Chains A and B, each alone.
Chain A
Amino acid sequence: MRTTVYVPGDAAALALGADAVAEAIMAGAAARGIELRLIRNGTRGMVWREPLVEVVTPEGRIAYGPVTVDVVGGLFAANFLAGGEHPLRLGPTEQIPWLARQQRRVSRRLGVVDPRSLTDYVARGGGEGLRRARAMAPAAIVQAIADSGLRGRGGAAFPAGIKWRTVHDAAATQKYVVCNADEGDSGTFSDRMLMEGDPFCLLEGMAIAGLAVGANRGYIYVRSEYPHAIAALQAALAAAGDFLGGFHVEVRKGAGSYVCGEETALLESLEGRRGIVRSKPPLPAIEGLFGRPTLIHNVITLASVPDILAGGAAAYRDLGIGRSRGTLPFQLAGNIRHGGLVEVPFGLTLRELLYDFGGGSRSGRPLRAVQVGGPLGAYLPEAQFDTPLDYEAFAAIGAGLGHGGIVAFDDTVDMAKQARYAMKFCAIESCGKCTPCRIGSTRGVEVIDRIRAGDRAQIDLLEDLCETMVQGSACAMGSMTPIPVLSALNHFPEDFA
């Protein structure tokens, strides 16, 4: 019998040399007259151990990592195809503490399944949610989502059930389901990993959403920086056959505009225009893509849907704390020792995530600041690390969980420089529609430059400018850029001296 070997085809694994490792393993097997079945799975999310090679043995899947080309010969010598001992052997994958301590729901098949195989997807529980949804009335599907407590995972955390009900109730001959896969926040990669590692899960979630709201067409808008995700989705669509029933999905490629992650700018872009935000109302749920009622969610939100339908709303709602129900796949990034994907129920503290999972800084120096929720998220000092990971608890300290991206910085960071970067990024990416964002961001860079040059009187001006941006901007780009700026200023004033 041929031994099955998994070598991830995930972009992070590829960036760490997975293709060369896969080739070396196949060449090593051929040289020894061994026939192998090689599967390019997604990542398990333990990025620091990529490329993580897994071998299927009678005792289950055994992991080795991080594997480099020069150790492949040693792995063969150690008989890794039978799960043999080797310094890189991590044991049965499912029992690796970093994974075993997680509660994976939306990422349950990530790294497990062959992302190109619908058969494998179905064999591992995929399709059950859609099967159940087909036997339900649309209103009952909407109710299940509302009962689950699911909130939009893209950053705004708006209750999904309300959106679904609004689109369901809108009368129109054509409605759309749009997946926002414009995951532009630095420190986030859960959407990318899911699209590359379990694309059928997203497609199934969209098809269920289509049944619920009465839409037979869907679009996935993927950023151009994610070519591997686009390829994985297209391969899955080509292999989907009639799995999605009459639901038609088209993958669209973005073109390098951060603000297109804002839902109305994304719709403009899908329609073939500059990605400039629309005024709300009307809400996309009423007048969205091509003027039709549109359900728009990010990848993780839609990919959470099959699990909710298959396992029941109550099972999902029972996880989490307060009004933050279910799980969030957090992403540990930046200067962190054990970076990657950590899916846990809401309620852990930031400190537990940073140290129990993350293992502290990669550099070995003390962690000084952590930015949570992307370029528009607050910088938190060590004193706030005990905040529970909960939407409301973060809002209470003037921060947000956003898309669950956590970027760690050690004590070499210059927080005035990070504040300047926040303004600079806003200036680069502003769509230009409103003045506070378009002009304010450039003035913000100048003011911070003067502060850094020693003019402390400019701090009042910076605070005033931030106030104008918060109050006067049309969307989150301009109104939230002050969050990283002011949190850096307030928590780390010594860097602005």
Chain B
Amino acid sequence: MDTNAILGRILHAHREQPGALLPVLHEIQEAVGFIPPQTVPVIATALNLSRAEVHGVISYYHHFRQEPAGRHVVRVCCAEACQAVGGEALAEHARTRLAGSEVTLEPVYCLGLCACGPAVQVDDTQLHAAMTPAKFDALLARLESEQ
């Protein structure tokens, strides 16, 4: 299905939902991987908003992307509870290791895994706790071998 068809289906499904913009954006990102700029005026018209309002929401929230991510998205928790058990060193290791990689690296501020940090999330739903640089490398090797 092309982006226009997906967009039409999503907008139709949410046409009567109050405050539909975030649910619409989530569904677009889940289906397409990001929110293509050309969808902004279509969303705006359908939800009776200005393009500025739609763009403003997309750019405000850290979760929404305006361009495609890499093959995988790896999020390393950089919040206090993970800092207390070596999270910064892990994040630094990840930065070095993933420089120039096809894997997108992002900071995340808390995954709710604060009693078993440092925590890492892969592609939204895969979680890893008590991470070390060595375990991180093993995880990357698995991701890279999947292709």
Contacts and interface: CB of A to CB of B under 8 A. Distances in A.
Interface stretch (B66-74, B92-100, B104-112): B104-112
A300 to B, nearest CB: 13
Interface stretch (A151-159, A268-276, A465-473): A268-276
Interface of B is mostly: loop
Contact of B113 (A12, A271, A335): A12
Contacts of B109: 184, 186, 258, 425, 428-429
A176 B43 CA distance: 27
A336 B115 CA distance: 7
B19 A186 contact: no
Given A257-B60, A258-B109, A334-B85, A252 B114 contact: no
A418 B62 CA distance: 23
Interface residues of A, number: 59
Contacts of B47: 272
A225 B20 contact: no
A14 B127 contact: yes
A186 B110 contact: yes
Interface in A159-196: 183-189, 192
A192 B121 CA distance: 16
A333 interface: yes
A255 B65 CA distance: 11
Contact of B115 (A340, A375, A418): A340
Contacts, number: 149
A255 B22 contact: yes
B124 interface: yes
Nearest to A363: B85
B127 A11 contact: yes
B114 A334 contact: yes
Interface string B9-20: 000000000111
A413 interface: yes
Given A187-B81, A225-B111, A255 B129 contact: no
B124 A257 contact: no
Contacts of A47: 115-116
Given A334-B84, A334-B85, A409-B84, A270 B19 contact: yes
Interface residues of B, number: 43
B147 interface: no
B112 A16 contact: no
A40 to B, nearest CB: 15
Interface string A6-24: 0000011011100000000
A375 B80 contact: yes
B83 interface: yes
B53 interface: yes
A253 interface: yes
B22 A253 contact: yes
A334 B81 contact: yes
A192 to B, nearest CB: 4
A227 interface: yes
B61 A255 contact: yes
Nearest to B107: A428
A274 B57 contact: yes
A212 interface: no
B76 interface: no
B115 A48 contact: yes
A273 B21 contact: yes
Interface string B32-73: 000000000000000101000100110011111000000000
Nearest to A408: B84
Interface string B119-144: 10100110111100000000000000
Contacts of A225: 108, 110-112, 121
B18 to A, nearest CB: 6
B25 interface: yes
Contact of A186 (B21, B79, B127, B129): B79
Interface string A436-458: 00000000000000000000000
B53 A12 contact: no
A184 B108 CA distance: 10
A192 B116 CA distance: 14
Contacts of A492: none
A12 B19 contact: no
B8 interface: no
Given A12-B115, A272-B20, A407-B80, A253 B26 contact: yes
Contacts of A407: 80-81, 84, 114
A272 B19 contact: yes
B117 A334 contact: yes
A343 interface: no
A324 interface: no
A244 interface: no
Contacts of B26: 224, 253, 255
Contact of A413 (B21, B56, B82, B84): B84
A405 B85 CA distance: 16
Contacts of A252: 22-23
Interface of B: 18-23, 25-26, 47, 49, 53, 56-57, 60-64, 79-85, 108-117, 119, 121, 124-125, 127-130
24 contacts: A15-B113, A15-B127, A186-B79, A186-B82, A187-B79, A187-B80, A224-B26, A225-B112, A254-B61, A256-B61, A257-B61, A257-B62, A258-B109, A269-B22, A270-B22, A273-B53, A274-B56, A290-B19, A334-B84, A334-B117, A336-B115, A375-B79, A405-B81, A418-B83
Question: What are the nearest 5 A-B pairs in CB distance?
Answer: A339-B115, A272-B21, A186-B79, A333-B114, A334-B84
